[in-house]
């Protein structure tokens, strides 16, 4: 199914469209600049266009900037019935009816002036971190082996702060040294893209390093991350020891996959035997030294 449910904001495209507008709005961007950065498209009649148009319209209605142009396009797209058709064919008539009801209520809602315009939100930033950039962290699990992650980046978004931990494959019965870790591997993945080589290099300047290693071009590289929220790291940090720093090239710190850890017990589940029988869905092993500055 192309979306997760029949609601207006219910699926990747709808969430991306809505959140991009709200991120700019909450960041203090004026309405005209938001329109310029995220233009309203009207050149498609398909299912995905319905998702885009309705999510876009909801965001602009909430911030008090819905125009007649946007409203008329919503009316036109809903009348086409592409969404109802898809839900009916891919699910059943009941789901198609639910989508139609959602659209009817939505159109009625945005056809009226918004009397309670959404205020710009201010999200608190965490400024005091438990670990610093490029910290190499080792920890011992219930099998009495040591494992390693690198605190590669901190992500703060909409009031949430996460420690993004790159997965190192080293597994040792003794506390590892930085030299041993440098000679180990990291889990990542190359992701094929339709962009030309020059565009990829503009987006990820160090991509050619990965191309040479894997023997093919026109792909981006990303790391398999486990992420821990700041509030959870408060209790987990006692089990992690900083033993040095390793700096990965900035443009190679992109994501290829993300998994969440909430307690130290989660580490026990996720990391045991990671260097021996690593789950395929996370990616492949890349020499850590290849990624470092």
pTM as predicted: 0.69
- Mean per-residue pLDDT of the chain: 90
Give 57-101 pLDDT, tens digit per residue: 999 999 999 999 999 999 999 999 998 998 888 888 898 999 999
How many C-beta atoms lie closer than 10 Å to residue 274's C-beta?
19
With cut-offs at 50, 70 and 90, classify the pLDDT of residue 195: confident
- Write the CA distances from 110 to 63, 99, 254, integer angstroms: 12, 16, 38
Residue of 235 and 125 predicted with greater confidence? 235
d(CA 140, CA 130): 19
d(CA 148, CA 169): 7
Q: Is the pLDDT of residue 277 over 60?
A: no
Give 241-261 pLDDT, tens digit per residue: 999 999 999 999 998 888 899
Instruction: Enumerate residues 6+ apart whose C-beta is below 8 A from 108.
Output: none
Residue 275 confidence (pLDDT): 46
43-57, 111-125, 269-283: the lowest-pLDDT one: 269-283
Residue 281 confidence (pLDDT): 54
Residue 49 confidence (pLDDT): 92
Tell how strand 219-229 and strand 255-260 pair up: parallel
All structural domains of the chain with their residue ranges: 12-110, 135-291
Give 229-243 pLDDT, tens digit per residue: 999 999 999 999 999
d(CA 175, CA 150): 15
């Amino acid at each position: 199914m192309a979306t997760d449910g029949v609601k207006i904001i219910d699926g990747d495209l709808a969430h991306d469209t809505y959140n991009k507008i709200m991120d700019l709005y909450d960041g203090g961007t004026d309405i005209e600049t938001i329109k310029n950065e995220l233009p309203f498209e009207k050149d498609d009649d398909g299912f995905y266009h319905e998702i885009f148009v309705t999510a876009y319209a909801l965001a602009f209605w909430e911030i008090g900037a819905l125009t007649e142009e946007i409203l008329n396009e919503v009316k036109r797209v809903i009348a086409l019935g592409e969404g109802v058709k898809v839900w009916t064919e891919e699910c059943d008539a009941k789901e198609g009816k639910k989508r139609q009801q959602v659209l009817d209520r939505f159109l009625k809602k945005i056809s009226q002036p918004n009397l309670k315009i959404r205020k710009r939100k201010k999200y608190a930033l965490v400024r005091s971190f438990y670990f610093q950039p490029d910290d190499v962290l080792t920890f011992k699990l219930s099998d009495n082996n040591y494992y390693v992650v690198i605190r590669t980046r901190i992500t703060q978004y909409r009031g949430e702060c996460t420690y993004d931990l790159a997965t190192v494959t080293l597994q040792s019965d003794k506390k590892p040294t930085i030299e041993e870790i440098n000679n180990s591997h990291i889990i990542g993945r190359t992701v094929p893209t339709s962009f030309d080589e020059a565009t990829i290099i503009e987006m990820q300047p160090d991509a050619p390093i990965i191309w040479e290693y894997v023997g093919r071009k026109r792909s981006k590289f990303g790391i398999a991350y486990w992420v821990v929220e700041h509030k959870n790291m408060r209790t987990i940090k006692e089990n992690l020891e900083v033993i040095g720093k390793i700096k990965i090239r900035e443009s190679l710190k992109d994501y290829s996959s993300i998994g969440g850890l909430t307690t130290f017990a989660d580490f026990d589940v996720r990391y045991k035997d990671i260097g021996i029988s690593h789950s395929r869905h996370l990616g492949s092993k890349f020499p850590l030294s290849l990624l470092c500055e």
